[in-house]
Structure 1
Amino acid sequence: MAVIEQIFPSLTWRIRHVTMYPHQPYDFVKLEHDFDGIHFGIYVDYELTGVVSLFMEDGIGQFRKLAILPEAQHQGLGSQLMTYLIDFCKVQKLTKLWCNARVNSTEFYTKFGFHQTNQTYSAAGFDFVRMELVIQYG
């Protein structure tokens, strides 16, 4: 059984490191504004298995570093976290949610109604595209 809870920022770092940037130094996964965000973790059998971080400003949310441990991927945990995150944004009355998605992950976000913009860039050996979701109510 998977349970999603709000977590302390530092709990995200190990999952981010192992999943996203295992060949980088540990501090590479720490975000400058981590302590300004809201962080969620998904626990499977009481073990933190995935994370996502949300940063809100002026009614718009940006999520960063959605990561599920490699051995737990393709079990629907990322989808559960995304659904929870979108619902949380609705409760917060946000109008838009966006992310900088790795280009090879865009199909995942499209399932949730995100669309690609023309804003792209490369960093740390990966290509990214900004994806946005206009939050619908009702």
Structure 2
Amino acid sequence: MVNIQPIRKEQAWQLRHEVMWPDKDYDYVKLADDDEGAHYGLFEGAELLSVVSLFVRGGEAQFRKFATSASRQKMGYGSRLLTHVLGEAERAGVKRIYCNARVEKAGFYEKFGLSPTEDTFTKSGKTYVVMERYFG
């Protein structure tokens, strides 16, 4: 059975490291403002398969460090988690949500109503584009 629930930041760190930056030190995946975020995990039974962190600041929100276990990608788990988090942001009264998407993943986010902006940057050898979505 699949379920989505709030998780501790430490749970998010483990999957972030494993999926996003396995070649970096463990501390590399920690965010300075992790204490200010809401962290969500998608579980199948007791196994944590996907994580994302949501940071709400006034009328805006950013989701960061979205990661799904490599063996479970392209199976819909991440899509379910992202749909949940977009709903959480909308219920919180956010007018705009955005993320820094790896350029090669932009098409995935477009399926959820996010549009690429002209803002791009490179970090640790990866190119990112800022993607955004506005709510009603």
TM-score where L is the length of structure 1: 0.96
The one-character-per-residue Cα deviations of 1:22-63 (angstroms, maximum 9, x if unpaired) are 000000000000011000000012211110000111110000
Cα-Cα RMSD: 0.7
Question: Which 4+ residue blocks in structure 1 deviate beyond 6 angstroms?
Answer: none
Unpaired runs of 5+ residues, structure 2, are none
SS in 2 for 1:97: strand
TM-score where L is the length of structure 2: 0.98
- Taking the TM superposition and a 5 Å limit, the aligned residue runs for 1:54-133 are 54-133=54-133
CA contact (8 A) 2:56 2:89 kept: no
The one-character-per-residue Cα deviations of 1:65-119 (angstroms, maximum 9, x if unpaired) are 1000101111101100111011111210110110000001000000011000000
The alignment covers a number of residue pairs equal to 136
Is residue 2:26 matched to residue 1:17?
no
Unpaired runs of 5+ residues, structure 1, are none
